[in-house]
Amino acid sequence: MPVRVRIAPSPTGALHIGTARSALFNYLFAKKNHGKFILRVEDTDKERSELRWVQDIIDGLKWLGIKWDEGPDIDGKFGPYKQSQRNNLYEKYLKKLLDEDKAYFCFCTTEELENKRQEQMSRGLAPKYDGTCAHLPEKIIEKNFAEKKLSVIRFRVENKKIKFNDLIRGEVEFDTILMGDIIIAKDFETPLYNFTAVVDDFEMKISHVIRGEDHISNTPKQLLIQEALGFYHPEYGHLPLILAPDRSKMSKRFGAVSVTEYKDQGYLPEALINFMALLGWNPGTEEEVFSLSQLSKEFSIEKVQKSGAIFNIQKLDSLNGFYIREKPIEKLTELCTPYLKEAGLLVAGQITQNKLQEIIEVSKTRMKKLSDIVELSDFFFADKLKYDKNLLSWNKMGESEIKDSLKYSEKILSENKKWELKNIEVELFLASEKFNLEKNYPEKNKGYMLWPLRVALSGKQSSPSPFEIANILGKEKTLKRIQEAIKLL
């Protein structure tokens, strides 16, 4: 059987990081085995499904670079990959099960079921359907329909042990005796998840179902339905879950959960891919940096971890910083631009593309995310800096000492004939030695001159070097900032 895998997200919210990781692992599995990766949108929940979320899923996967071979956007806008467009198919199989008496109508009300459940639990039993409607006489069923009683369709679950060989966990066994007859549809128009998934996987010839561990208890149910319908069984593999720092399921409470949010904060797709792959998988070597195409070659499902993995944002940050530093400067500038624009720092025509690149070049080692650029570089764009004058002091220098230092810098820089990084640096270094000698400061400590200068130019506790800033600012602006600092004292 050719390898065909899928992800089947519900469009009831933004593309979740867990779904994205399932997509990644399915994609890698398909690539590795020369198979196909399919995207199928499971919009059975009519109330909560929305078109905009379908779009979000499509956009998110595209941004990550996870391409699907079949699915929305490829076979028409949604093609046959939306469940809401496949209802006649479900109806056909539902009728088949009903005709063969493998499923039946159940007329129990929610209250009745709730009462029974309470009663079972109070007796210390596992709550399950007691089979009240399992063998209703034909007449009663007809009467119920005539009276328009609400019904659901239940699937007869035979008592037996059901085993399957999980791709990741090995043999897993369930006892169906604890399950009870499961509801597979509310009515012909509203089939339910376990049923539609089985029909879709069969119709789409899915060979391997690779999904989150939260689905593991659905697997025996699906296996049973497959048997009843005479379908083949796909192979199953259950991925460990991505956990919040407290080891519970990832939730909003602990920060961003959707791919879009990470994108907006300025994480790069390559960092997110690399990070997600390493959550629950590793190649067994000491390599840690992987591109999507490398992963496609090296991935193997046997090496996927069995236990859940905590989403460690620091590791993502470190990886993201790494990929940011690796980016060609033109590309990085392009990526940072929207953030600078949004912060109102970039006004059209005020700065050349070259200048902008220089600013980003000197800032990039401090960036963890693209959005950091704003905070790191705003002083380059500002007209007038705002900062506490106490920041100008290095090693407890008093105000008059700082003033002397700044005036010295001003003098040196105003005499500069060649405004160029290396030159500025050399001149200031030499000047600083002279200055220390004149003032009786420790010879080697260049901070007496360079710290006040750097603060005058940046207004910040930390920033690139004064040489880099001065070089980018240009002579005129540099001198102006020094004079403004002197005025503060």
The least CB distance from residue 375 to RNA, in Å, is 11
Q: Are 5 and 30 within 8 A, CB to CB?
A: yes
Q: Among the candidate windows 5-13, 121-129, 402-410, 434-442, which touches RNA by CB under 7 A?
A: 121-129
Q: Among residues 71 and 464, whose Cβ is nearest to RNA?
A: 464
317 lines the binding site for RNA (CB under 7 A): yes
Of the two residues 190 and 312, which places its CB atom closer to RNA in the complex? Answer: 312
Contact, 281 vs 326, CB < 8 A?
Answer: no
Number of residues that bind RNA (CB under 7 A): 67
The Cα 268–Cα 369 span in angstroms is: 8
Which among 323, 313, 258, 255 has a CA at the least distance from the CA of 289? 323
Stretch that binds RNA, among 7-15, 199-207, 311-319, 410-418 (CB under 7 A): 311-319
| Closer to RNA by Cβ: residue 11 or 464 | 464
Distance (Å, rounded) from C-alpha 62 to C-alpha 476? Answer: 46
Sign of CA dihedral 278, 71, 15, 326: positive
Give the Cβ contact number of residue 274 at 10 Å.
23
Q: Which is nearer to RNA, 258 or 463 (CB)?
A: 463
Per CB under 7 A, does 423 bind RNA?
no
Query: Would you state the structure tokens that stand for residue 469, as one six-digit string?
Result: 């800033």
x/- letters, 91..120, toward RNA (CB under 7 A): ----------------------xx--x---
Residue 82 or 154 with smaller CB distance to RNA = 154
Query: Could you give the CA distance from residue 383 to residue 406 in angstroms, rounded to a whole number?
Result: 19
Q: Give the one residue of 55, 165, 300, 305 binding RNA; rule: CB under 7 A.
A: 305
Asked if 328 touches RNA (CB under 7 A), the answer is: no
Does residue 426 belong to the site contacting RNA (CB under 7 A)? no
Asked whether position 9 contacts RNA by CB under 7 A, the answer is: no
Residue 291 interacts with RNA (CB under 7 A): yes or no = no
252 is catalytic: yes
What residues from 261 to 280 belong to the interface with RNA (CB under 7 A)? 278-280
Q: Does 400 bind RNA (CB under 7 A)?
A: no
Name the active-site residue from 252, 341, 407, 411: 252
Contacts of 5 (CB under 8 A, 6+ apart): 26, 29, 30, 35, 36, 37, 38, 206, 207, 208, 209, 210
- Residue closer to RNA, measured from CB, 89 or 391: 391
* Long-range contacts of 469-472, Cβ-Cβ distance < 8 Å, separation of 24 or more: 469/362, 469/379, 469/380, 470/413, 470/424, 471/358, 471/419, 471/420, 471/421, 471/424, 472/355, 472/358, 472/359, 472/362, 472/380
CB of 163 vs RNA, minimal distance in Å: 9
Q: Which is nearer to RNA, 81 or 275 (CB)?
A: 275
Write each residue from 217 to 246 as x if it is in contact with RNA (CB under 7 A), else as -, in one continuous string.
xx---------------------xx-x--x
157 near 181, Cβ under 8 Å?
A: yes
Site for RNA in 164-203 (CB under 7 A): 169-170, 172-175, 178
Looking from the CA of 270 toward its CB, the CA atoms found within 13 Å total 15
* From 5-13, 151-159, 312-320, 350-358, span contacting RNA (CB under 7 A): 312-320
In the complex with RNA, which residue's Cβ is closer, 234 or 447? 447
Phi and psi dihedrals of 238, rounded to 5? -110, 115
DSSP string spanning 85-108?
Answer: G-HHHHHHHHHHHHHTTSEEEE--
The burial of 438, by beta-carbon neighbours within 10 Å (0-12 exposed, 13-18 middle, 19 or more buried), is given as exposed
Angle at 196 between CA 193 and CA 198, to 5 degrees: 105
454 lines the binding site for RNA (CB under 7 A): yes
How far apart are alpha carbons 121 and 36 in whole angstroms?
A: 45
Binding region for RNA (CB under 7 A): 113-114, 117, 121, 124, 126-127, 169-170, 172-175, 178, 213-214, 216-218, 240-241, 243, 246-249, 278-282, 284, 286, 288, 303, 305-310, 312, 314-315, 317-318, 321-322, 325, 365-366, 394, 429, 444-447, 450-451, 454, 461-467
Q: Which residues are catalytic?
A: 252
